[in-house]
Chains A and B, each alone.
Chain A
Amino acid sequence: MYMKLNKLFFGAAIVFAAFTAKADYQLLFNTFNDPVNPTNPVFDTDGTTLLRGVNGFVGQLYAGTSAGSLSAIGNSSVAFLNGTTVATGGGNISGGTATKVDSGVTSATAGFYQLRVWNTANGSTYEAASAVIGAKIGSSTVEAVTLQGYANGTTPPISFPTANLHGSFALTTVVVPEPATIALGLFGAAGLLARRRK
């Protein structure tokens, strides 16, 4: 009996593996919401200068099946276009497809994406750049999309979402709070507590 159950579980495991193998989803890495005159470019920290690849700015898509579980997808970051105006692609990326392998995704799974941007002078990844004081980094809002998965492969895929639902945003500079600032904050909090006790 024990042997039979074991075999049964083993068989079920094989079937499960066969059905969940090679499941991935893709996003079209075109950030522009209009191919002629996009309204969602990414700006430098001044809020007016469009990001350009020649200046070292790149982006990468982060995606996942929940807003709190985003991870980098695609093989690498993609440089911004070099246009100097939004009509020539400045502040935007046209980067082919970005693929995420995720065995839990089947066709039409709800998901989320975020565009994260940095300068390669500060690191090869967004995380690395985020740890560099003075680095320019930024990220879009997290947007909901319908992920298209290829699990099971019963029918060929048709299309997948485009990562262009976010709005325009500007980069910020990575800073660390100075000790004096932290101390002031702590004094303030202590003062408030003392006042409430009285």
Chain B
Amino acid sequence: MKTKSILAAALLMAASAASASAETVYSVNAVGFVNVNCPSGFSLICNPLEAADNTVASLFPSPPPGAVVFKFNSGTGAFSATTFAFGSWDNPTLNLVPGEGFFFKNPSGAIYTNTFVGNVKQGALTTSLAAGFSLVSSQVPQAGLVTTDLGLPPVAGDTVFQYNNLANAYTSSTFVFGSWSPSEPAIAVGEGFFVKKATAANWTRTFSVSQ
């Protein structure tokens, strides 16, 4: 892979070195931040970085009053929600880890920008895709085509749904006859999306910032 447009808005690279016995072993961590814009209404987003604490209270410390996070349960087909009201989240320990998509409802009339801070995940990254709907995201802050760049393995009949905040509706692409129709979905950094599959599968990719 040449230029994996890994772009976390501004990524700071920090290298930490450790020595073991006679040789020197380098462990490279990519730490940074990503700004995700949430216009008024619903946005389908994700946590693009692995934070020390991935709870909703830590990731969204000061959202607009009345903000709601909706997390999808592919097993039940239903959402669980937590609301920020009267100064706190009613379920502050709700976890939002990289690879999960979720709705963020911004009740204010203005754009709300949330800054995610943490590590870029590296190594063998696996995201489970259930039969039926799964609400997922790329585990790394990388923009690109869902299969070509992000490595989602499609089978015939798979459908990706992307949410259009302005239209309050979905656009969809289905994998048929060996390609995505009408076109391969382009996923933005910080974007969540639904995948609909007939049978469960894993979305696995090996990622390194040095790629």
A83 partner, pick from B70, B84, B86, beta carbons under 8 A: B86
Instruction: Name the segment of A117-125, A150-158, A170-178 touching the other chain.
Output: A150-158
Is there an interface contact between A35 and B78, defined as CB atoms closer than 8 Å? no
Is there an interface contact between B79 and A30, defined as CB atoms closer than 8 Å? no
Main secondary structure of the interface of A (DSSP, over half): loop
Report A124-164 residues with CB < 8 Å from chain B CB.
Answer: 150, 153, 155-160
Is there an interface contact between A155 and B161, defined as CB atoms closer than 8 Å? yes
Total residues of chain B contacting the partner, CB 8 A: 34
Is there an interface contact between A35 and B81, defined as CB atoms closer than 8 Å? no
Tell whether B68 is near chain A: CB-to-CB under 8 Å: yes
Tell whether A32 is near chain B: CB-to-CB under 8 Å: yes
Task: Known contacts A35-B65, A156-B133, A156-B161; decide if A81 and B77 are in contact (CB<8 Å).
Answer: no
Is there an interface contact between B65 and A36, defined as CB atoms closer than 8 Å? yes
**Bound CA–CA A35/B83 (angstroms):** 9
- Report the number of A-B residue pairs with Cβ-Cβ less than 8 Å: 75
CB nearest to B84 among chain A residues: A35
Tell whether A99 is near chain B: CB-to-CB under 8 Å: yes
A35 partner, pick from B82, B85, B163, beta carbons under 8 A: B85
**Smallest Cβ distance from B164 to chain A, in angstroms?**
10
**Bound CA–CA A66/B170 (angstroms):** 30
Is there an interface contact between B87 and A88, defined as CB atoms closer than 8 Å? yes
Main secondary structure of the interface of B (DSSP, over half): strand
**Bound CA–CA A97/B107 (angstroms):** 17
A158 partner, pick from B66, B163, B172, beta carbons under 8 A: B163
Is there an interface contact between B161 and A97, defined as CB atoms closer than 8 Å? no
**Bound CA–CA A22/B131 (angstroms):** 14
**Bound CA–CA A89/B84 (angstroms):** 11
**Bound CA–CA A157/B194 (angstroms):** 10
User: B87 contacts which chain A residues (CB < 8 A)?
Assistant: 88
**Smallest Cβ distance from B7 to chain A, in angstroms?**
27
A150 partner, pick from B65, B77, B90, beta carbons under 8 A: B77
Tell whether B80 is near chain A: CB-to-CB under 8 Å: yes
Q: Mark B56-72, 1 if CB is under 8 A from A, else 0.
A: 00000000011010101
Is there an interface contact between B168 and A158, defined as CB atoms closer than 8 Å? yes
CB nearest to A150 among chain B residues: B77
Is there an interface contact between A99 and B78, defined as CB atoms closer than 8 Å? yes
**Bound CA–CA A22/B194 (angstroms):** 18
**Bound CA–CA A83/B170 (angstroms):** 39
Is there an interface contact between A97 and B79, defined as CB atoms closer than 8 Å? yes
User: A24 contacts which chain B residues (CB < 8 A)?
Assistant: 77-78
CB nearest to A97 among chain B residues: B81
User: A114 contacts which chain B residues (CB < 8 A)?
Assistant: none
**Bound CA–CA A95/B105 (angstroms):** 16
User: B132 contacts which chain A residues (CB < 8 A)?
Assistant: 153
User: B31 contacts which chain A residues (CB < 8 A)?
Assistant: none
Q: B residues within 8 Å of A by Cβ? A: 42, 65-66, 68, 70, 72, 76-87, 90-91, 103, 105, 107, 132-133, 135, 161, 163, 168-170, 172, 194, 196
- Can you show 30 pairs from A to B with CB atoms below 8 A apart? A28-B68, A28-B83, A30-B85, A34-B66, A35-B65, A36-B65, A81-B86, A83-B86, A87-B86, A89-B86, A96-B81, A96-B83, A96-B90, A97-B78, A97-B79, A97-B80, A97-B81, A99-B78, A150-B77, A150-B78, A156-B133, A156-B196, A157-B79, A158-B42, A158-B103, A158-B163, A158-B168, A158-B170, A159-B105, A160-B79
Q: Which 10 A-B pairs have the closest CB atoms?
A: A35-B66, A89-B86, A94-B90, A35-B65, A156-B194, A35-B85, A97-B81, A96-B81, A94-B83, A36-B65
